[in-house]
Amino acid sequence: MFRALVASALLAPVCALIGLGLGVLIRHSAATVLTGAFTLLMLPTLFSRSERWSADINHAMPATAWKRLVQNWPPDPESLAYTATVPGSWIVYVLWPLTAVALAVAVVRHSDV
């Protein structure tokens, strides 16, 4: 229960930092909004969890990580072949905003020179 609460409370800041990183990289508001919405909402639906390579990409998405973190029951082993792990989902929650902010800082510092 606590894990679901923390994951849900961190979802908005994680998405905001990803959007910040995309905004600095793209530098056009409409393109940033479309890219952010596509990346965070639509891209995870393109990958299934029935094949290993597709499941690995799907589990690396913030929306899929959030769904696994708020799931309070163990995943059904018969329904899906590959399920995300809780530690892996926390890693996704940390790496996406960290990478986006690091890229944003690098781009801003490079453009200021």
Q: What is the pLDDT of residues 66-94, one digit of tens each?
A: 988 998 877 666 555 677 788 999 999 99
Query: For residue 96, which of 35, 15, 31 has the smallest C-alpha distance?
Result: 15
For residue 57, what are the domain limits? 2-9+18-73+80-112
22 alpha-carbon distance from chain centroid: 13
35-49 residue pLDDT tens:
999 999 998 888 877
Q: How far apart are CA 11 and CA 37, in angstroms?
A: 14
Helix (H, G, I), strand (E, B) or coil at 75: coil
pTM over 0.85: no
What is the number of structural domains in the chain?
1
- CB count within 10 Å of CB 47 equals 18
Mean pLDDT along residues 8-14: 94
